[in-house]
Amino acid sequence: MKDLGELPQDRDKNRLNPGFASDKVRFFRVDADDAGQRIDNFLLKLAKGVPKSHVYRVIRGGEVRVNKKRVDVTYRLEIGDELRVPPMRLAESRSAPVRAAEFPILFEDDYLLIINKPAGVAVHGGSGVSFGVVEQLRAARPDARYLELVHRLDRETSGVLMLAKKRAGLVGLHEQIRAGQLDKRYLVMVQGDWLNARQHVRLPLVKFLDGEERRVRAVTNPGHPNDADAVAAHTIFSLREKFKSGQTDFALLEAELKTGRTHQIRVHLASLGFPIAGDDKYGDFALNKELARPSKAQLKRMFLHAWHLGLQHPVSGEAMQIEAPLPEECERFLGALR
């Protein structure tokens, strides 16, 4: 997206950095990176911090023009379109300032940034979190014109996380996700005597609120009216290794995601009676407390790690295999069990 400035006759002055609102009318010309986006989504990203209701109001009120014409909120931008964007001020922000940060890079080129996300860091701000990985990376890379999450990981899950540096990368990877073409595999330690070498779990999942906390549960009795919003979920578990620590059985599994639902691996395992070690939402809280005590086998995080991702490069089509090594704390716990 090329910033044409404040007025057509003065287009090189007062350039607007993406992500900031302006108190003046601005003009932009759409390039290949932004073509295909809905205009509402483009403006929401352009004017981060402006209330969503205001963005929709200015579009519906005709204050946003494309090629000097009014457009609907569903209009998709085309290469060469000229946008008129009215003044939009940032909403007052009381959140903590974003701390710029980089993360271990597994792969990077002009289109993709793939990192090894640490446990305990949210992928984006919201739900009580001021900022996450994507905001920290944007702060660390102020010259980056485009940086968007391709997918998500739970805050307490570590491992392979993809971001797109160009819209073509994001669109191409989303097409692979919709077609089920990504090979996403996790390493997970569960409590219990796991028996099957390979097990398919196809339990639908439904989201619900427990007080103010968002949770997910597996549907084990189909047809109940409370489960009308359930979505299909499919995980394949493969046994890697079994252990016994005192009177407690553990098993190291590889989880292959065939669908990508919220908390899918955690809820599928908990519903089978095999809670993840260290899972503070769906796990065995007495066990977690015991594991957190100082010892050789101390574990103070959830043992769930996105270790492998197979994909095709969204532009070149090259087959890629990305792997993130198991974090030190998980390796230490694994060594103690062995």
At what angle are helices 39-46 and 52-60 packed, to 10 degrees?
Answer: 130
Using DSSP's 3-state secondary structure scheme, residue 4 falls into strand
Q: What are phi and psi of 304, to 5 degrees?
A: -145, 120
CB 334 within 8 A of CB 251: no
Please report, for the chain, the start and end positions of each structural domain, with discontinuous segments joined by +: 2-85, 95-338
* CATH of 95-338 among 3.30.2350.10, 1.20.120.80, 3.40.50.300, 3.40.50.2300: 3.30.2350.10
- 81-130, pLDDT tens digit by residue? 999 988 876 544 455 688 899 999 999 999 999 999 999 999 987 656 67
Q: What are phi and psi of 225, to 5 degrees?
A: -60, -30
- 165-200, pLDDT tens digit by residue? 999 999 999 999 999 999 999 999 999 999 999 999
- 223-270, pLDDT tens digit by residue? 677 788 899 999 999 999 999 988 899 999 999 999 999 999 999 999
- 309-334, pLDDT tens digit by residue? 999 999 999 999 999 999 999 999 99
Are 2-85 and 95-338 equal in CATH topology?
A: no
Confidence of residue 3 (pLDDT cuts 50, 70, 90): low
User: Which residue bears the tokens 């305990």?
Assistant: 120
Catalytic residue among 3, 154, 279, 284: 154
Fold of 2-85: 3.10.290
Q: What are phi and psi of 178, to 5 degrees?
A: -65, -35
- The alpha carbon of 136 is separated from its chain's Cα centroid by a whole number of angstroms, namely 14
Distance, CA of 297 to CA of 278 (rounded, Å): 12
- Name beta bridge partners: 163: 113, 149
Confidence of residue 35 (pLDDT cuts 50, 70, 90): confident
Does pTM surpass 0.85?
Answer: no
Q: What is the pLDDT of residue 14?
A: 32
Distance, CA of 263 to CA of 217 (rounded, Å): 9
Distance, CA of 218 to CA of 271 (rounded, Å): 7
154 a catalytic residue: yes
